[in-house]
Amino acid sequence: MEITDFALDAFSLAGKRALVTGGNTGLGRAFTVALASAGADVFVPSIAEDDGETEQLVTQRGRRYASMRADITQPGAPREVVARCVEELGGIDVLVNSAGICVLADVTEFDRSHWDPMLAVNMTAAFEMAHAATAEMIRQRSGKIINIASLFSFLGGRMSPAYAATKAGIVGFTKAYCDELAEHNIQVNAIAPGYFATAITTATRADADSNRRVVEHIPAGRWGDPADLMGATVFLASPASDYVNGHVLVVDGGYLVR
């Protein structure tokens, strides 16, 4: 593409098919709605029953929404999810590995009962989803994989060594997959969100001292809103990022620089 050919259509996802794990709650819902707003049809697997809210947000934008109940940590489930996405939407062009959990416990109490479930969801399921989607993307000679990392990909992370370990692992996995898949015209990148105002941060935001410590560390002076992630999602899913590969896009209001 010549520079004279560039247009905002490069950010369009019209006709694309996206699969978003964890895509009907929290930040995952923002990823789903962002992709639909840019023109993509969206498939969302969920371990919980779908409440219909995400579907409404997608269909209001004139896009198709499909979902299924699935526990992507179970053997064979990621392959079944990708196959169902292909069946429902006709293919898969974008995978967002958004599903994740964070269990907190003091270091002396944090044992395998905490560690194993987090590795299963945050790391192994993301790998298996990407592995299954890759087969489809190689066949069509195009695709986008967006893994969700975290500030704790770079920081220690008190009370949850497994969260920090899995999110650091996601960065390594992103770079490794990029290195092998770039020749197939598949771009693999990650988004690392900072501190966002979602249900899982309610207690921190409600505590005046904890809230102050977080906000004072953010140059932007506020918690992130899920909508702040939507532009990054569309960029990494769209043709505008075709030469961006193996990158971790931090969306944190400047937290890491302070």
- The whole-number average pLDDT for the span 181-188 is 98
Task: Spell out the domain ranges in the chain.
Answer: 7-251
Question: Which among 92, 187, 196, 199 has a CA at the least distance from the CA of 135?
Answer: 92
Q: How many CB atoms lie within 10 A of CB 30?
A: 23
Query: Residue 12: pLDDT above 70?
Result: yes
Would you say the C-alpha torsion 219, 220, 224, 226 has a positive or negative sign?
A: negative
Query: Residue 166: pLDDT above 80?
Result: yes
- The pLDDT, as a whole number, for residue 1 is 64
Active site includes 163? yes
Which residue is catalytic, options 163, 177, 195, 255? 163
- The whole-number average pLDDT for the span 249-257 is 97
- The pLDDT, as a whole number, for residue 16 is 98
| Residue 224: DSSP 8-state | B
User: What is the C-alpha to C-alpha distance for residues 227 and 107, in angstroms, rounded to an integer?
Assistant: 34
Query: Residue 2: pLDDT above 80?
Result: no
Buried b (16+ CB within 10 A) or exposed e, 80-96: ebbebbbebbebbbbbb
Q: How confident is the model at residue 173 (pLDDT cuts 50, 70, 90)?
A: very high
CATH domain 7-251 topology: Rossmann fold (3.40.50)
User: What is the C-alpha to C-alpha distance for residues 63 and 221, in angstroms, rounded to an integer?
Assistant: 35
- The whole-number average pLDDT for the span 7-18 is 94
- Among the residue ranges 25-34, 35-44, 130-139, 154-163, the one predicted with the least confidence is 154-163
- The whole-number average pLDDT for the span 117-123 is 96
Query: Is residue 85 left, alpha or beta, with left meaning phi > 0 and alpha meaning psi from -120 to 50?
Result: alpha
pLDDT digits 0-9 by tens, 34-67: 999 999 999 999 998 888 999 999 999 999 999 9
- The pLDDT, as a whole number, for residue 49 is 81
Question: Which among 147, 152, 166 has a CA at the least distance from the CA of 232?
Answer: 147
| pTM score, whole prediction | 0.95
Buried b (16+ CB within 10 A) or exposed e, 121-144: bbbbbbbbbbebbbebbeeeeebb
Question: Which among 21, 60, 12 has a CA at the least distance from the CA of 40?
Answer: 12
- The pLDDT, as a whole number, for residue 156 is 86
